[in-house]
Structure formats: structure tokens, C-alpha cells
Amino acid sequence: DGGITQSPKYLFRKEGQNVTLSCEQNLNHDAMYWYRQDPGQGLRLIYYSQIVNDFQKGDIAEGYSVSREKKESFPLTVTSAQKNPTAFYLCASTPTGEGNQPQHFGDGTRLSIL
Amino acid sequence: GESVGLHLPTLSVQEGDNSIINCAYSNSASDYFIWYKQESGKGPQFIIDIRSNMDKRQGQRVTVLLNKTVKHLSLQIAATQPGDSAVYFCAGVLSGGSYIPTFGRGTSLIVHP
């Protein structure tokens, strides 16, 4: 079945540590997104990428970094500069060039501070 | 820009009742809207979408209504079941440019048996 796989499901970060969240899709979608979700909040956009080797900052990019070396993969690194990283992180993808389509989401990674 | 919000944070209904979840948007240039369902610990799942050239769209047990005059949309769930208990989000997309949906904060639907 096609879909988006996020790993790990739970992740713990120590002080001063960088951690990387994985997002892989086999939907052949061009665009991929990272969102942060805090309790009682909507989804806030961290980074997005519309094509391989290109990505743009979203609303809350500070303290995060991404890469898009392959169409299928869009990893997110939470750096030590992100002082409040505890949240639920969601990866999404969507096809482009076919008019508006709904995003497909993974099942998220919950990041906590040790 | 665009902001999208929901009127109520929590909606409690009895099993079998119809549920209505509301959403308001601020930018009249939004031309595509999506409703998602998110169960605890999972990612959002697509329920139904609607484009701005439509007022109403129906799916299986769900209907979305779009009122462009007052910039409001609603999700109606018929014969609500316990399995419908989840958080429901609306999202709006501005016409033209990059496909960047703006999400509302979500309404938690609680269905009592």
C-alpha cells in the first residue's frame, strides 16, 4: 500500500543534542511538508519542499533544518537551537501539477526532552 | 495571509445524532478547503474537500457546506457513531502560488453511546 512512513514513533532528546526525524513516502508525490502540532493547536508549518533539492521555510523554521536529496525522503533535524522541541511532528505530501489535492499525512513522531 | 479557525473546541453528541462542526476563514482568495479527522496519536486523515465554485458536497455520511459570502464552512456528520470521536480540522488553500494549506485549531468531537 502507498503511504507515508514516519520514524521513530517516539523520540527523546537530550540537552544540546540534534535529532533527526525520518519521513519516507512511496506515493510519488513531488511536494512534502513538515508540521509541528502542540496540544490544542492547529498544525504549524516548519518547512516544505516542492521538488528535489529545493525547500522553503515555513512559519516556524527557526531551530530546524531539512534536506530533500531524494523525492521519497524529507528528513527533519531538530537542532539544539530549538529550545522548546517537545511536540508532535507530522510529515505530509501532495502531488503537484494536478490541481488542488488533499495532503496525505504520516502517523507522526512524538518528540520529548529528557 | 490566511487564518482559519473553528467556533468550538469541543462538541459532545449522542450516538445517532447529527453533528455539525463549523469553521471560519479570513481570506476571500481561498479557493480550496479540506476537512481532516485526527484520532489520538495518529496523523490527520482526509474526509472531504470542496472547491470555491461549489456550495455543497456530499460524501458517505458527511456533507460540507461552503458559504463564501460570510467565509464559513461546516462539516455535517449524519448518524454520528462512537468511531467518529476524534479531532476535526478544516484547512484552507489560497488560490495561485504554492500549495500551502492553513489549518484551524481543531474541534474535538465526543460521541456518547
pLDDT tens digit sequence for B15-72: 999 999 999 988 888 899 999 999 999 999 999 999 999 999 999 999 999 999 999 9
Confidence of residue B4 (pLDDT cuts 50, 70, 90): low
Hey, are the CB atoms on A105 and B45 less than 8 Å from each other? yes
Q: A73: number of CA atoms within 13 Å, CB side? A: 9
Per-residue model confidence (pLDDT) at position B8: 56
Residue A13 has pLDDT above 80, yes or no: yes
Hey, are the CB atoms on A100 and B103 less than 8 Å from each other? no
Cβ within 8 Å of residue A59, ≥6 positions away? A44, A45, A46
Average pLDDT of every residue of chain A: 93
Residue to substitute from A10, A21, A43, A94, interface B, most B β-carbons within 10 A? A43
**Residue B43 and residue A105 in contact, taking contact as beta carbons nearer than 8 Å:** yes
Q: Locate the DSSP E strands across A1-86.
A: 4-7, 10-13, 19-25, 31-37, 43-51, 54-57, 64-66, 76-78
Residue B3 has pLDDT above 70, yes or no: no
CA-based torsion, A76, B47, B75, B28: positive or negative: positive
- CA B31 to chain A, closest CA, distance in angstroms equals 9
Average pLDDT estimate for A80-87:
91
**Residue A87 and residue A38 in contact, taking contact as beta carbons nearer than 8 Å:** yes
